[in-house]
């Protein structure tokens, strides 16, 4: 393994500046599901605090597609052995933020649906369909 050319502080600064460009592959899978089931009325990239992946404005439904590793789902039991404490703190911050955003939307009178990345797999279709029952 190659040593990092940056100090720990510099690497942290660099990583903090990296912004997500969206979880396109998971969002595209959900869009395919919407299309296959004739689910309409959704908007993507809606500018609102909390940044849901999809909103259904008329139904006041916000959908978040959460990456299993990044948001704390242990479906694959993926835990890095290197820098374990760093990743555990990062995941905890993400999970805390997810709870705060869910509460924020619910206080606004919205229904929040959180879909795990693994639930977009064919074998988990019944779980996905159950979560999206309000839209079917």
At a CB cut-off of 8 Å and minimum separation 6, what does 20 contact?
A: none
The whole-number average pLDDT for the span 17-34 is 79
- Please tell me the total count of domains within the chain: 1
Mark out the alpha helices in the chain (DSSP H runs). Answer: 8-17, 24-36, 68-71, 84-107, 125-131
- On whether residue 32 sits in a domain, the answer given is yes
89-109 tens-digit pLDDT: 999 999 999 999 999 999 999
Residue 36: predicted pLDDT:
95
Residue 9: predicted pLDDT:
84
d(CA 52, CA 58): 15
For residue 121, the enclosing domain spans: 23-135
Residue 19 pLDDT greater than 70, yes or no: no
Given a contact cutoff of 8 angstroms between Cβ atoms, the answer to whether 73 and 114 are in contact is no
25 pLDDT band, cuts 50/70/90, is: confident
pTM of the model: 0.81
- On whether residue 65 sits in a domain, the answer given is yes
Q: Which of 23-32, 49-58, 121-130 has the least mean pLDDT?
A: 23-32
């Amino acid at each position: 393994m190659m040593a990092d050319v940056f100090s720990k502080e510099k690497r942290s600064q660099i990583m903090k500046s990296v912004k997500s460009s969206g979880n396109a592959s998971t969002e595209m899978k959900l869009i395919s599901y919407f299309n296959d089931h004739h689910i309409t009325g959704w908007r993507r990239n809606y500018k609102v605090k909390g940044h849901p992946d999809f909103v259904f404005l008329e139904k006041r439904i916000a959908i978040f597609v959460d990456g299993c590793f990044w948001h704390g789902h242990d479906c694959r039991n993926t835990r890095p052995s290197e820098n374990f404490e760093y990743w555990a703190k990062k995941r905890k911050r993400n999970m805390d933020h997810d709870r705060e955003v869910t509460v924020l939307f619910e206080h606004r009178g919205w229904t929040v649906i959180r879909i795990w990345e693994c639930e977009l797999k064919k074998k988990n279709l019944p779980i996905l369909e159950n979560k999206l029952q309000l839209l079917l």
